[in-house]
Every structure is written in C-alpha cells, then in structure tokens.
A and B are shown apart, each in its own frame.
Chain A
Amino acid sequence: MIEIFSATNKLRFIALAIALVALISLPFWVSGIYYINVGSQILFFAVFALGLNILVGYAGLVSLGHAGLFGISAYATAYMLQQGFGHTTAVAVALVIGLASMALFAVLSLRSSGIGFIMITLALGQILWGLAYRWISVTDGDNGIPVRGRPAPFGYSLTDPVNFYYASLIIFIVAVAMVFIFVRSPFGAALMGTRDQPRRMNALGYHVWMIRFYACLFSGLLTAVSGILFVYYTNFISPQTLALTSSAEVLLMVISGGPGTLLGPIVGATLVVVIKTVVSGFIERWNFLLGAIFVAIVILVPEGIVPGSIRLWRLIVRKRAAAPPAPAATTERTP
C-alpha cells in the first residue's frame, strides 16, 4: 500500500530524519536568496500537489480545475488586503471562499466520476478563470491585483525570504503529516475503497458520494492554503494563475511523482518547479516542454517516478537476495 520506503521502519525513520534536517538547514548551506525562494516555491507547490493527490491518487477523481480553486483563494486574499482588511481576516476569508468553491465544484462534478469528472472540473475551472479575466471591477482583469507586504506572525516578518521559507516549511510539514495520518485512517481506507470498487463500497454500507465530498473538502483545504502562500510569495495574482495550464502543471506534479503515494506529489512538485526554474533561464517558453513531459510520463512511466523507482529498487534487491538464482518457484499470479 502506502509504503514510501521499502525497508524497515528504522530505515524509514532515518530517512525521515535526514530529510527533515536537510529541509531545516537548507537556508544555511544554500547560497543566495534565489535558491531559498526556489525552495519556498517547491514547498507550497508540494502542498498544492498533496491536495490534488487526495482526489487524483486516493479518490481516483482527476480534476482539471484545481488551478481555479488555488487562484480563487489567492484572489480572495489579495482582494481583501486591497480593501484594507488585515492579514488575519484576509486569510480567513480566503480559506472560507476556497472551501466553499470546492464544495460547489464537488456538488456539480460528483454527479459523475471518471471522464465526466475531468470535463466538469475543467469547465468549472474555466469559469473561475473567466471571472478573474473579465470581472474587471473586482479583479482588474489582466492587470491582476498586487499585494503589498506579507504578514508577520508572532513578530517574524515573512518579508524576509528565509522566514517565508520556514513558514512554508512548517505548513508543508503539517500538510504532509495530515495526509500521512489521513491515508492510514479508516476514512482514508474507505476513500481508497471507493476508488477501487465504488459499487461494492455502496453495498457494504458506505455513503460513496459523501466520502468523495469530504475528500474534496480536504483537497480544497490544502489547495486554498497553498494558494494563499502563493499570493504572499509572488505578491501578485493574475488570471494566468487560474489558466488550464496551471491546472495541468499541478496535475503533472501528481502524476509524474506517483499518484496515490505520499512522496510522489512532493517529488513531482520538486521536479516541475526545478525544471521550470532552470528552463526559464534558457528558453522563453515552458509550455512545449510541459506538454512533452506530460505525454512522455503518461506513455512511458504511467505509475509515476516514485512507484517506478521503488519497483526497480525491489527488483534489484530481490535479485541480490535471490543469488544464487533459485528455481522459478514463485507462486505469484497476476490477476
């Protein structure tokens, strides 16, 4: 199931500790604000991807409208700040609007699953994009809304890139912990059941629609949080953030890393942000590459990088352990 590391718990714990130490110490061994900012981006996009993965990976519902939800929270934050409200109010309103939009998305799109769900979320995402683009009296259209200043919780001003990095890190760790606990929980098991056998789950007494609805809300929460972090990071929000391209980018993070795994979206977010950052130094346009990676991943590594490499690793380990080669006595059968 959700085994991130194939070896023992001890090994898992060591890996986790190393990862934590590396993340916490990053500002000390990375030279320059630029790279710390890349780090922050990876962190909040990873939160976004973790949120989408709740639906794509664990519920089996592929959304192509998540950039709209991400963007509406960002817009709500920027709009409230522009209207002169404080950071706390702005963030609270943004969370409520993000969750309410997700609930509305869910009510409309959960009437179907599979391909129907993709189409409807795509259309709904486009509505939000259209509103951002056209509802000029609120959003200022293509010009977007600038955000002045970042909050300073407990006196730590997030204007400092290092502080912002740590704030993102804390939220990232909380998000990872939430997903980790969620996936092992009874509700998480029920959700994965509805992904694999919805009809059977219904016959076993589960309310499939409601389970999916709650999963949408959880996904919407992480999406809204990452949208708020995003708008504080860039200090600006424009319709481009809500475009289909952005929905596709976060979906690429999930499916390239490995949907339905905890580590997958994190690896995927790192990959996409790094490629995007590196590539933008050389070529002007990233879309061609985005499309090409998409096609390549879907055709060549459909299960994603994380499960793909785990499979490879197990193959190597098993080969080593099995030397001298035992007679083919495997009773494994593929269903």
Chain B
Amino acid sequence: MSALTISGLNKSFGGLHVTRGVDLDVQPGERRLIIGPNGAGKTTLFNLITGELTPDTGSVSLFGQDITKTPSRDRPHLGMARTYQIITLFGKDTIIHNVRLALLGLSPMRWNPWTNLRRDDRFTEAGHKALARVGLSHIADRPLSQTSYGERRRVEIAMALAQEPKVLLLDEPFAGLSIDERRDVHKCLMAIPRDVTIVMIEHNMDVALEFAERITLLHFGEVIVEGNRAEVVNDPRTREVYLGH
C-alpha cells in the first residue's frame, strides 16, 4: 500500500490554474523530492496535501485512507506532519515550549485546563528527545528570540519529528541557510529512520539531490518528469525547465 497517493488534483485561484491534474504515488519509507522553479505550485501542492487548501477536484489518500475531506487539523492525528518554508514558530516562547506545543497537539491533554504543562515531565522529556534528533537539546530552554536562523529551521524539523509522523512533508528545509547550517540540517534529515516517509520540496536541485530516491519535477502546476535521480537529471525536459529554453 502506498504511503501517500494523490490523484487528479486540481486547484485554481480565480483564473489562475496553479495545480493541474497532479498525480503522485509515494511508497512507505520513500524519500521523494519535488522540484520546480519558483511559481511551479510546490507549496500549493503541500497545502492541498495537508488540507490547508481544498482541491477543486481530485483526491488525497494516506495509507489507503481517503483524507480529501478530512479537516487539516485532523491530519496530524493520522500521521502527517509538515514544516513551513517561511518559518512559523512561537517567537515569544522557548525552544522547548515550541516542541511541547507540537507534542501537545496530538495529546488528549491539550484540553486539560488544570495541570501545569511546564511541570509535566512526559512532555519535557519527549521534547528533549525530539530536540536531540536535531542537535538542539543543549539549548532547549533558550528563548526563540535568541536563536539563529539555522537553529530555527531545526526547531521546525524537531516539531514535526516530535509528532512521530508516518509521512513528513518538508517545505524547502534548506531555504536561506548558510553552507554550515545546511550540513547540520542535512545530517538531521539523513538520521530520520525509514519508517518515516518523506516528501521534500526544494527549489534548488543541487542541495537535496543526494537525499532523494525519486524526484518529481513540477512546472506551472503540472508534473513534467518523474523518475529516479539519474532519469530526472538527464531528462531534456528538466534541462529545459531549469535552463529556461
């Protein structure tokens, strides 16, 4: 059974057709890279998968279960987690509190109005564990306002990992990072075990190429090429899209 199946997905904004009949089939444990130039509709595709946008037509299934009509807030509970290209964190809080919120989102405890969250060791321990996976547990108590951009990227990833997703959607996890920071993030991603299926968007092909097994090239909302690394890189249509002829 596929981890994530998308078929015939369409989405228009006004007259702008941003997703055109996209089909996607991602196997469990796969590392899928979605590339494409700016405006190819990559982030829109993610928003359609996570349910933040509703598709005009088409369907999305997670491990065989049709989730097209499932509200986006319920999808994390089914094992889908995402990160954002534009870092979206809780800026007034500490790193550990950000991760705690990610953990709490899937716990029935989130409706509990009387215990002390900070004193709840289960959340603190699990939070530290998730932060350790991205190498940040030593600065867990640091306020987010005192962290670097690269560290914030890793907090994003830690929050997604903390939810122990079956399918993880990464939206340009390398965007805006220095070379050193990229290496750190790359290390975190390589360490994610195979029981997590990963779909990653990247604008820049070189960065994420070695990470992916299968690559989908999106252009003007359409799947142009799909295949393994060599197939996509060597396909003339890829060159066309990227070299702009």
Contacts and interface: CB of A to CB of B under 8 A. Distances in A.
Interface string B8-40: 000000000000000000000000000000000
Nearest to B93: A1
B223 to A, nearest CB: 25
A335 interface: yes
A199 interface: yes
A331 B144 CA distance: 13
Given A185-B117, A196-B91, A190 B73 contact: no
Given A193-B101, A199-B52, A186 B109 contact: yes
Q: Is chain A's binding surface mostly helix, strand, loop or mixed? A: helix
Given A205-B106, A206-B105, A185 B115 contact: yes
Given A181-B114, A189-B101, A332-B145, A207 B109 contact: no
A111 interface: no
Contact of B163 (A196, A202, A204): A204
Given A1-B93, A187-B111, A206 B118 contact: no
Nearest to B90: A196
B15 to A, nearest CB: 26
Q: In the complex, which of the residues A187, A204, A214 has the most CB atoms of chain B within 10 Å of its own CB atom? A: A204
Contacts of A208: 73
Contacts of A185: 112-117
Nearest to B162: A204
B146 interface: yes
Nearest to B74: A205
B73 A202 contact: yes
Contacts of B107: 186
Interface string A301-335: 00000000000000000000000000000011111
B203 interface: no
A202 B51 CA distance: 10
A196 B113 contact: no
Given A185-B113, A186-B109, A333-B145, A202 B90 contact: no
Interface in B76-97: 76-77, 82, 84, 88-93, 97
A8 interface: no
Contacts of B144: 335
A203 B52 contact: yes
Contacts of A203: 50, 52, 72-73, 76, 82
B91 A186 contact: no
A199 B88 contact: yes
A197 B73 contact: no
Interface in A163-208: 181-182, 184-190, 193, 196-197, 199-208
Given A187-B113, A205-B76, 6 more contacts: A188-B117, A189-B104, A196-B90, A200-B89, A205-B105, A335-B145
15 contacts: A184-B116, A184-B118, A185-B115, A186-B112, A186-B117, A190-B101, A190-B105, A197-B90, A201-B105, A203-B50, A203-B73, A205-B74, A205-B163, A206-B73, A214-B111
Those 6 A-B pairs whose CB atoms lie nearest each other, nearest first: A204-B105, A205-B76, A205-B105, A187-B113, A200-B88, A186-B117
